[in-house]
Structure 1
Amino acid sequence: MTVLSIDAETYSDTSIKHGLAKYFETAKLLMLAYQIDDSPVELWEPHKSEMPAELEQALNDENTTIVAWNAIFEWYVVNRLIGVSVPIARFKDTMINALSLSLPGKLSEVGPIVGLDIEHLKNPEGAALIRRFCVPTESNGKKVIRDYKTDPELWETFCEYCKQDVVAERAIAKKLAIFDLSEQEWSDWHLDQKINLRGAPVDVELVDAALALDAEEKTRLLDELKTRTQLANPVSVTQFLAYAKQQGYSYDSLSKECVSKYLDQHPDTELAETLKIRQQATKTSVKKYEALKTATHNGRLKHTLQFYGARTGRWAGRIFQPQNLPSATFDDIDTAIELIKARDADTIDCLYDSVTEVLSGCIRAAIRAEPGNTLVVADLSAIENRVLAWIADDAEMLNIFETGLDPYKKFAVEMFGKKYEEITKKERKLAKPPVLGCGYMLGAKGLQKYSEGYGITIDETEAKRQVELFRSLFSDVPRFWKSLETAFFECVLDKNTVALGKLEIVSNPPVVQIVLPSGRAISYIRPAIQNLDTPWGEKRPQITYEGFDLKRKWTRIPTHPGKLTENVVQAIARDVLLEGIKRAENAGFNVVLHVHDEIVAEVPKDSGLTHEKLAALMSKPIVWAEGLPLAAEGFTSDYYKKD
């Protein structure tokens, strides 16, 4: 098989931050570096010559695999700018190889980590060269485009930079070759790109109206805040905190937690009302409308799903983040949508709590099927708990799902000492944090903080009781934590393969991988066992590995059995979702979006493709997951929402 490695440099009047589809509407090809197998790297400059015959032949050869870093960019170059029709199935992406190993997604960062010598590293001058030649600049209010005519010497440096990118990409590809994705995983990536190219349908009218209403409402709220506080900038944390303290605010922060505590303690004060107004004025969830506007091309939201966006293999959001969208706090979404489109702020204020709450609650609805189509949505029920029960082989937890019981109500039975049928909605909600969090080794303090995310406050004594209750009821889960840690220790220290139930922990220096039931693996780079302080002040051996910390510094990261368990569970849940996506596509569903455990498909209204069929496909037994109890539920709607 012939391998064609390519790297392109392009110019566009449109920022890449607006998404690839928009970017390539105004893009032109400046140069393309290429290498066929291990032959020398060549450079094609379209302003100098026609496309080289060997490059044209390789692009048109169905048996040639095209490899690039962030290959979807080069797919656009080949198909849109060069004009050669090449299916995405002929491409492979070295960046995806890197991400699958929990390496960074930037070419410049990967080279040093994998130990490339200086001759094979990416040229560090690249950012300045791209700013010089790939984006327009302004001089005296006029657009200036720089190229080989305006900067001939620097252009030659740019040409060498482009060629060096191919050198660096090829060197990294060879370093990672032993960890190459399986053909099935490459097929999964090709499907992912197909879904990203298809895009999700967007209600552009709703987005535009929401942005206009938000701007008006923010101006009104800011004016009201200025009148109330007499501050020049009441949105400023420094200015407003000083003002609030003068009014009796006792906290040193304006964090959501601190403000909520004050509002609970002093609900009827004038400062409480001012704080509520400021919360609305600074609400950031409506910024997702701006992201939607930015990333939407011809009415479709494209390239927002990043394959291998996390260590577990789960997707991440790009430009627009479909994960963790706010839910509506009101029922009549249809009326709210009509009022937003009418830009009727006065009626919204009369019928709902606030304009900002309505805008926030309707963000999901901005994903709307095109006329004649509908959205079919289904999500896997309690998938992480089901996977945890299955991978830990916990009979008690498995029995809950096998008998069709609600895991939160079942735990509430033990929490409150009541019969299953007597559990209230409130009690079920109170049981949710321990059921979801304690499986990943949360202690009492961790559970307290986790519960706050659900709007639930518990003291340390109650948190400790819930933790102990979970661990006693589902005793195979703590045993799994210990077994997983022991197996990982053994693999790191003895550099061998350790079998653990449905998993294998494999040493493949400098990487240790947890091989999942699907055959895919989670990777940990250069793991080690180090004596470190625990949160409770005790020194004990702990697993560390290389990765980015919260400040995006590449360093050693400590982990623990609960986190490893979370990685394993979420990775398997991802693989289960992917099985559902593939089945849905094969059955004729056009998948346009998916989030963690949910699939959104757009289908013709008369297609017969129902949410019941989609849910059945998602919950059908999986060959590699024998005994995993799956269930899914769904709904059909013209627009996306939280069911």
Structure 2
Amino acid sequence: MVVCADYYNTEVVMDDRPLIKFDCETRSGYDLPDVGRHKYLSHPKADLLMFSYKIGAAPTQLWEPGKPVPMYFQNTREFRFAAFNAQFDQLVINRFAKRYGFGSMATDQMVDVMAIAARYGLPQALAKLGKALGVRLQKMSRGTVLKNKICGLDKDYTEEEYQEFRDYCVRDTDSMAEIISKLPSSRLSDKEQAIWEETAYINARGVPIDSWSVQQIQKIIDYYTKKQEPYVPFVTKQRIQTVGQTAKIIEWCVEKGVELPNLQVQTVAKAVEELEGEEVLGADYEDVLKLLKLRQLLGGAAHKKFRRLLNMTLNGTIYDNLRYHGAGTGRTTGGGFQLLNLPRAKVKPNGSMTYDEAVKELIAKFFDTTVLEMDDPLAESKKLVRPMIRAPKGNTLLVADWGSIEYILLMYYAGEWDKVEKFRNGNDPYIDFATELFHVSYDDVTDKMRQESKPPVLGSGYMLGSGVPRRDPPGGLIGYALGYGVVMTDGQAEFATNTYRNNHPRVKASWYALKNAAIKSIAHPGTTVPVLIEDGAHDLNTSFLTAKDRTGKNWLILTLPSGRQLYYCQPRIAKGKYGAVIKHMGVNPETKQWGTVSLKPQRIIENIIQGLGRDILQECTPRLRQAKFNIVLTVYDEVGCVSPIKGSRQRLQEMEKIMCIPPSWMPQLPLRADGYISERYKKN
């Protein structure tokens, strides 16, 4: 048996300040999930109801207003503080510090238990995490009911229920304390803690919003949807009242002869396309078509973004847009307004008009209401979601991203050196692949050929199959290509897949080498297994190790070329259709529940490349901060800053130059960064 605590926390300089575990319960006139923590706590009647706290093995205590403030919360700089989703509890204490006599808490004092769980691919909700770790003191199931009764402004609860709420608050801290003891590590490494802190600073800084325009556009959306909503009961003869009645709509459509598995955007769009393609429609089909088009019009998520913006904006800013380690690869995901999930529709300037001028012109149509004379006002509002992010007066946005970052990382990682050199020399990887796919010269590749080459370049490197035989809905490359507007025949998909694999032999070899090394590691716990291809000719600078954590739980540990590690809980080898397969405990991406998931080679290589992309971003952001760049957002491989208009062109060039510095662990990696200067955010 190998007990390997050091693998889970390798760079820590121990902070010997005592750790206080605590949990706050609050009240507000706002709903926290709707508005976010900053606006929630800004309500004039927001208040701290109580907090529970625990130090060492001592019993958990409860503080309420009117009681003496514990010394730990007066002389706060002498302690560290652990909380679940610590950014919220930190803000609560700081918000009410003067009212109750607390000392302030700095971000570098905080230990976020949710972040530690995320670091190891564990559930990021206290109740689910407690169940996954098998803690004895689980979160109380009545908590949500009690919160709904007590945490609003309506005092609709009994004294018995309030006492139960006190017990609930204490239990949360007790459960969290037990969770900490069962995690692989009780804190993040120094490097990861610094990344968590940087994420917290960006969240607290917020993203500037054109709140005046948001309000007006929302008024137009409300007016227009109110006028369209009566058509839903009219078309369905009062059977359905709103487009949100999913089950009733599906049932009604089945009665009319149209079966729908769900009402997802793609499903509805496909059904509409098929119905519109019919030369003659019966009355029932016509009614279904009308209803589905109303669903498209009124049920789209894009115009709901304005309601979200309106709810979350505080003093022209939206906060908490990033979630540390939201993905298992370590990538930051979206929070709050969900910047990672914005509509693709965009404003297109006409003639010599600039982007900002075109946006201003369209916004004006919402203020003078002439947008209501256009064919689809909601479609026009969709174009304005991104531009609602606007630099404050006297400033501009500097936004830059890494070009083809996953492509070049995969080529460098696998050792496809001819592809790396072409990229270094300025070649477009999609055009390069088009020359192989269509047997034409580089200069003869058309825009259509380039677009058709994108799906295999972006998907085939992650072991994506052709999708043949074809399924419904299509899978593999055939289905993936549809997302890029590319329709492929079976023959085209098979040819593109085979062409990619034949022309990227080391990429293909890496898939199987990674799988075999992972299986070997699980079969031989305690032995570090390096990953080599071509009989050792190329070292992927990656290794696997299966080892136990401090609680005795087994983990498969994948060490990246960056030195960072990815973790897979309780790995085991199972028998699959084509041989040995890897299973482990994790969060199912479909159900979001903790359970057994597969670790296929395509997932391993994707985790590695996306993980390295994350590490490049996190190595770059401190450089940008040191150069006085004011980072307000990161979206995948994109960084956005607010900067004074004066000197902005020079600053953008400096930003791009910093982003092109290769990481220390891939010193010869060619990077490209391309950015823009704009008053408003846009899809580059």
Post-superposition Cα deviations, 1:115-168, rounded to whole Å, max 9, x if no partner, equal 32x2x43333433333333233xxxxxx3265xxx50x4444433332332222
Matched, 1:523 2:567: yes
Match of 1:548 in 2: 587
1:269-284 to structure 2, matched below 5 A, reads: 274=290, 279-284=296-301
Given the alignment of the two structures, is residue 481 of structure 1 paired with residue 511 of structure 2, yes or no? yes
What residue number does 2:655 align with?
Answer: 614
Q: In 2, are the aligned partners of 1:206 and 1:337 still within 8 Å (CA)? A: no
Distance in 2, Cα, partners of 1:201 & 1:312 = 29
Is structure 2 residue 78 aligned with structure 1 residue 78?
no
2:339 is matched by which residue type in structure 1? P
Distance 1:454 1:410 in 2: 18
Whole-Å separation in 2 of the counterparts to 1:128 and 1:245: 37
Query: Alpha carbons of 1:487 and 1:353: their partners in 2 closer, same or farther (altered >3 Å)?
Result: farther
Match of 1:492 in 2: 522
Deviation at 1:29, TM superposition (A): 1.7
Q: What is the letter of the counterpart of residue 19 of structure 2?
A: V
Contact 1:199 1:303 in 2 (8 A): yes
Residue 457 of structure 1, CA deviation: 1.2
Q: Which residue of 1 aligns with 2:352?
A: none
**Structure 2 residue 477 is matched with structure 1 residue 447:** yes
Return the alpha-carbon distance in structure 1 between the equivalents of residues 165 and 251 of structure 2: 52
Quick check: 2:348–2:358 contact (8 Å CA) kept in 1?
Answer: no
Q: Which amino acid aligns with 1:359?
A: S
3-state secondary structure, aligned to 2:422: helix
Deviations 1:452-481 (A, max 9, x none): 111211122211111100001111111000
Query: Does the 8 Å CA contact 2:478/2:488 hold for their aligned counterparts?
Result: yes
Task: Determine if contact 1:209/1:341 at 8 Å carries over to the other structure.
Answer: no
1:340 equivalent in alignment to 2:363: yes
Give the deviation of 1:407 after TM superposition: 0.6
Give the whole-Å Cα distance in 2 for the aligned partners of 1:251 and 1:182: 49
Matched, 1:53 2:71: yes
Cα drift, residue 419 of structure 1: 0.9
Q: What is the match of residue 11 of structure 1?
A: 27
Query: C-alpha separation between the residues in 1 aligned to 2:279 and 2:187?
Result: 58
1:130 aligned residue: 147
TM alignment of 1:50-449, pairs within 5 A: 50-57=68-75, 59-61=76-78, 64-83=79-98, 84-116=103-135, 118=136, 120-136=137-153, 143-144=154-155, 146=157, 151=159, 153-178=160-185, 180-222=187-229, 233=240, 235=243, 255-256=267-268, 258-259=270-271, 261-262=273-274, 265-266=277-278, 274=290, 279-332=296-349, 334-343=357-366, 347-348=370-371, 354-445=376-467, 446-449=476-479
- Specify whether residues 177 and 414 from structure 1 end up closer, same or farther in structure 2 by C-alpha distance, changes over 3 A only: closer
The CA RMSD over aligned residues, in Å, is 2.8
CA distance in 1, matches of 2:367, 2:280: 29
Distance in structure 2 (CA, Å) of the matches to 1:578 and 1:610 = 20
Q: Deviations over 1:495-535 (max 9, x none)?
A: 12212222221223321121222332211111111113xxx
Q: Supply the distance in 2 between the matched residues of 1:241 and 1:98 (Cα, whole angstroms).
A: 39
Counterparts of 1:250 and 1:24, CA distance in 2: 46
Q: Which amino acid aligns with 1:80?
A: R
The structure-2 alpha-carbon separation of the partners of 1:223 and 1:102, relative to structure 1 and needing over 3 Å to count, comes to: same
Give ranges in structure 2 of 5+ residues lacking alignment: 1-15, 350-354, 468-475, 532-539, 549-553
What is the deviation of 1:240?
Answer: 6.8
- Please report how far the alpha carbon of residue 338 of structure 1 lies from its aligned counterpart in structure 2 after TM superposition: 3.6
Residue 297 of structure 1 aligns to a residue whose secondary structure is coil
Distance 1:418 1:347 in 2: 49
- Specify which of 557, 564, 569 is matched with residue 597 of structure 2: 557
8 Å Cα contact 2:346/2:683 also seen in 1: no
The one-letter code sitting in structure 2 at the alignment partner of 1:92 is V
Unaligned runs of 5+ in 1: 137-142, 533-537
Pick aligned residue for 2:610 from 570, 587, 594: 570
| Residues 159 and 230 of structure 1: CA distance in aligned 2, closer, same or farther (over 3 Å) | closer
Deviation of 1:613 after TM superposition, in Å, equals: 1.5
The alignment's TM-score, normalised by the length of structure 2, stands at 0.84
Distance 1:110 1:155, change over 3 A: same
Which residue of 1 is the match for residue 490 of structure 2? 460
Structure 1 residues 44 and 481, CA gap change in structure 2 (3 angstroms): same
Instruction: Say yes or no: does 1:591 pair with 2:631.
Output: yes
Partner SS, residue 454 of structure 1: coil
Distance 1:225 1:409 in 2: 48
| TM-score between the two structures when normalised by the length of structure 1 | 0.89
Quote the Cα distance in structure 1 between the aligned partners of 2:299 and 2:618. 37
% of aligned pairs identical?
Answer: 30
